[in-house]
Amino acid sequence: MLADDTLLWRLLRFLDHADCLEVPANYQHRRTMARFNQLAQRLDRDFGRQCEVDRQVQDASFHGRIDIPATATGTLRRLVIVISNFGNLAVIAVDNPGVWTDKEAAQLLHPEDDTRIRRALADLTYTLIPEEPLWQRYNGAWTPDNRPARVDTWWDRYFDYL
């Protein structure tokens, strides 16, 4: 996980562009979808259960979401992986994004579940980042300029509907 605060903010600001709100300029939908599908299949296999996969995301800064059912986890709670359209960024949440701080989520997350998810993300070259810094107020390059999008936090910028 990219946990170094300085590197995290450097990456988030590097990926931020004033003219590209939903997807980066170099976005390749088919390639992104293929890797996302590989991740979903891998998690299905690794957790021995079919995960709930949201592939129908539109008007958003994220590509998709995978929910691992609580009954398939050692954590005994639903685990959620959200994949951004930007920079191969990924976030893991326990129960749902925004419910727990990173420290609380780490305490709840069973080590075997954590290892399986991290390996799958790393094998598919996703960059796992902590969720909590994304809750900070967005102060990046994009400005509304008569566009009807809401970007209040860095979570909105990279992991939410716009």
Question: Does residue 71 have a pLDDT over 70?
Answer: yes
Query: pLDDT tens digit string along 91-143?
Result: 999 999 999 999 999 999 999 999 999 999 999 999 999 999 999 999 999 87
Q: Which of 134, 43, 30 is nearest to 81 (CA)?
A: 43
Top-confidence residue, 56 or 45: 45
Model pTM score: 0.94
% of the chain at pLDDT higher than 70: 96
d(CA 97, CA 45) in angstroms, rounded, equals 23
How many structural domains compose the chain? 1
Give me the pLDDT at residue 142, please: 83
Residue span of the structural domain in which 37 resides: 5-159
Question: Does residue 2 have a pLDDT over 90?
Answer: no
Per-residue pLDDT, averaged over 1-8, amounts to: 82
Q: Could you give the 3-state DSSP secondary structure of residue 109?
A: coil
d(CA 72, CA 49) in angstroms, rounded, equals 6
99 close to 80: Cβ distance less than 8 angstroms: no
Give me the pLDDT at residue 100, please: 98
Per-residue pLDDT, averaged over 142-158, amounts to: 81
% of the chain at pLDDT higher than 90: 85
Counts for the chain of helices (H) and strands (E), in that order? 5, 5
Q: Which of 39, 98, 43 is nearest to 68 (CA)?
A: 43
Give me the pLDDT at residue 32, please: 95
Question: Does residue 37 have a pLDDT over 90?
Answer: yes
Task: Quote the mean pLDDT of the chain.
Answer: 94
